Amino acid sequence: MSTYVIGITGASGAPYARRVLQALLEEDHHVKLIVSPAGDRVLNIELGLRFSGALAARQEQWVEYLGVDRGGLELLGHRDFAASIASGSYAFEAMAVVPCSMGTLARIASGVSTNLIERGADVALKERRPLVLVPRETPLNRIHLKNMLAVHEAGAEVLPAMPGFYHHPRTVDDLVDTVAGRILDRLGVENALFKRWQGDPLAELAGLED
């Protein structure tokens, strides 16, 4: 069992976060979850979620919603700079910000830690731990592109929420799983969420092999 940090920000793409959380917990991993206020808003708009009450109560609601808690889910306050993950001395395995808003991307790129998601990302970079940022934004302006390059140069992985179609997805869940599976790959978590490309099955028939 390893500990993963997941940040949910106010970009579109809440279903990706749900799937990554479920997969980590199903694999017995411990998850420390932080949700920005804008993230909560988008979770409400996209998934109909409205968690309320104190942190412990909201944590229970998350566990109930996800339907799995094998490794243990811990909800951290988004402004709790005294939380374990705010210090480099606390060794978590890896972190993903999924989905990652352009605002959060910009603050990570410039090293500004206004909340625990940004501080966790800052810690991941300085401790050279895997950090996966999952933007959904389109189209991208020059500032977005420059920020993506900056975080990449600092050691983060930019993994845009862009599902492929070569595995013939049939449902929205298939598309979500493709992206979630790639995120888990980058976090170093084995998964079978999507069909891996084994070569073109029609190449031989079409005489394209050489």
Ligand X SMILES: Cc1cc2nc3c(=O)[nH]c(=O)nc-3n(C[C@H](O)[C@H](O)[C@H](O)COP(=O)(O)O)c2cc1C
Name the residues that contact ligand X, by CB under 6 A. 9-12, 36, 38-39, 41-42, 45, 101-104, 136-137
Residue 2 or 113: which CB sits closer to ligand X? 113
| Burial (CB count within 10 angstroms: exposed 0-12, middle 13-18, buried 19+), residue 69 | middle
The nearer residue to ligand X, 7 or 181, going by C-beta atoms, is 7
C-beta of 102: minimal distance to ligand X in Å? 3
In whole angstroms, how close is the CB of 70 to ligand X at the nearest point?
A: 28
The conformational region for residue 109 under phi > 0 = left, psi -120 to 50 = alpha, else beta, is alpha
Residue 102 or 176: which CB sits closer to ligand X?
102
* Cα atoms in the 13 Å half-sphere on the side-chain side of 81: 6
Identify the H or E element spanning 24: helix 14-26
Please say which residue, 148 or 189, places its beta carbon nearer to ligand X: 148
Residue number of the CB closest to ligand X reads 10
Radius of gyration of the chain, Cα coordinates, nearest whole angstrom: 18
> Smallest gap, in angstroms, from Cβ of residue 130 to ligand X?
20
